[in-house]
Amino acid sequence: MSAIGLLGAGDVRALASQLGVRPTKKLGQNFVVEPGTVRQIAALAGPLRADDVILEVGPGLGSLTLALLEAAAPAGARVVAVEIDPVLASRLPKTIAERAPGLAGRLDVVEADALGLTGLGGVSPTLLAANLPYNVAVPVVLHLLAAFATIRRGVVMVQAEVADRMCAGPGSRVYGVPSAKLAWYASARPAGTVPRSVFWPVPNVDSKLVTFTRHEAGPPPAGRLEVFRVIDAAFGQRRKTLRAALATWAGSPAEAERVLRAAGVDPGARGESLGVADFARIAAAAPAARAARAAGGCPDAEHAGGDKLPRSSGLECVP
């Protein structure tokens, strides 16, 4: 394999000038200008197999794309780059052909908004690797995990504060909606810090790397939307107890308490103390608790909301 010419600071600025590109805050464009950083991200995407397809979101001028192709080459893996900017999307194949001619055939470029992506023409991505715009980082990750069940793991570079929230667990000061929703799909962990100096233009915030691995035995997809509604409601009023925070979702504070007790969750607890399994149990208990109240009986723990729950789940009849 011939040497790959990764992009340095001068290369990035020259390309941008040639294309008339000025990084915009609207698209969250901060281009990586330090080769060591993109190699670090590419290394975290490994180990790779011949059947792996790396989905890169927001390749920009190609800094990370080149490093991903370099890392994918020994295994024979491929890269699909999704870019929303038409100028950058049209230029990327040429940049790869110039700097990694032997690997240009292993890249596909798709001009699209990642938040609207539902398919890749029959291609099934297995990994996500991206330097994500700060303002859409979490929505992009959650959307792609929902849209592509084939994504097994990933590595993303995001704002430090966002990274902390993505990796936080119950009880943490920064644990919230992003933490719980990402935990529905995968386990996430911090993978390093990134100095501001590796970007052009230099951002006003620090960055961190996050890696995640999808749960092997994922929860039933049919329950996801309802579980996410519970999560949104629970964190919508962080200072309130779950009995109060879930009142609108359940229909009343009394009904919220009924559902929470049926799920084995303390109505006096707060959302930040619950894990995603607790939220799933609440969502599953809701229809069973309501049906039991209407029928005057007790809900069956194995048929709460269509999801099978163990008898030890705490599902019980609440007066």
CATH of residue 237's domain is 1.10.8.100
- 33, 181: one domain: yes
Tell me the three state secondary structure of residue 61: coil
- Judge if 121 and 270 occupy the same domain: no
Same domain, 252 and 296: yes
Domain co-membership, 248 together with 164: no
Q: Give me the pLDDT at residue 295, please.
A: 57
Domain boundary among 214, 231, 258: 214
Name which of 178, 185, 164, 176 is nearest 270 in CA terms.
176
Domain termination site, one of 214, 241, 268 = 214
Number of domains in the chain: 2
Q: Write the pLDDT tens digit of every residue in 69-107.
A: 999 999 999 999 999 999 999 999 999 999 999 999 999
Residue type, 279: F
Query: Is 318 inside a domain boundary?
Result: no
Confidence of residue 37 (pLDDT cuts 50, 70, 90): very high
| Mean pLDDT, range 277-296, rounded to an integer | 77
* Residues 260 and 127 placed together within one structural domain of the fold: no
Single residue among 178, 197, 214 that ends a domain in this structure: 214
Q: Answer whether residue 282 is part of any domain.
A: yes
Residue 304 has pLDDT above 50, yes or no: no
5: closest CA among 78, 72, 96, 92? 96
Residues 248 and 195 in one domain: no
- The reply to whether 159 and 90 lie within a common domain is yes
Identify the band that residue 297 occupies on the pLDDT scale cut at 50, 70 and 90.
very low
Residue 291: inside a domain: yes
Residue 2 lies inside a defined structural domain of this protein: no
Residues spanned by the domain of 263: 221-313
Q: H or E segment at 76?
A: none
CATH number at residue 96: 3.40.50.150
- CB atoms inside a 10 Å sphere around CB 18: 9
User: Is 155 domain-assigned?
Assistant: yes
The pLDDT of 189-196, averaged and rounded, is 96
Q: Are residues 74 and 202 in the same domain?
A: yes
Considering the domain architecture, whether residues 72 and 173 belong to the same structural domain is answered as: yes
309 plus 192 within the same structural domain: no
Residue 296 lies in a domain: yes
Q: Residues 202, 225: one domain? A: no
Query: Considering the domain boundaries, does residue 206 fall inside one?
Result: yes
CA distance 316 to 259: 9
Residues 226 and 162 in one domain: no
- DSSP code of 106? G
In a domain, 4, yes or no: no
What is the pLDDT, as a whole number, of residue 306? 32
* The model's pTM: 0.87
